[in-house]
Every structure is written in C-alpha cells, then in structure tokens.
Amino acid sequence: MTARIALQLNAAVGLASSAIAGATMWLVLTRPAEVAIAVANHEYGAMVAAIGRQLGSWLQALLWFV
C-alpha cells in the first residue's frame, strides 16, 4: 500500500466517522428520549436506521443545493 492510498483511506475513514458522529449528536439533541430508551434496552438497530435516514436527508439536501 502506497503512502498516497493510505492517506486517502485515512481521510475517507475520518470523513465518514465525522459524519456519523454528527448524525448521532443530531439524533441525541432532537430525540433524546428515544435515544436513551434504545441505548438502555440495547436496541441499536433503531438508532442505526435513524442515523442512516439523517445522513440520507443531509446528502439529499446537499445534492439539491448543488
């Protein structure tokens, strides 16, 4: 693996993790009760689905803007 590929992979992972962290914080701020219940019951599927929907809506808004 060359240094350039490693740097690009590192950037892609960093960007993806930042987007997921931002979506998670958005979910915690907008629907705190649902997040608390899901975490307490170890039901992470609902959180993953909500984060995926949020990321999709952000991408749709970005593409609409461009």
- Both tokens of 10, joined, read 């590192």
pTM for this prediction:
0.71
pLDDT at 18: 93
Helix/strand/coil percentages in the chain, nearest 5: 90, 0, 10
Within a 10 A sphere around the Cβ of 51, how many other Cβ atoms? 19
What mean pLDDT do residues 7-24 have? Answer: 92
DSSP letter at 5 equals H
pLDDT digits (tens, 9 = 90+) for 37-46: 888 999 888 8
CA–CA–CA angle 29, 30, 36 (5° rounding): 70
Instruction: Fill in the amino acid letter for 47.
Output: M
DSSP letter at 42 equals T
| pLDDT bucket at 1, cuts 50 / 70 / 90 | confident
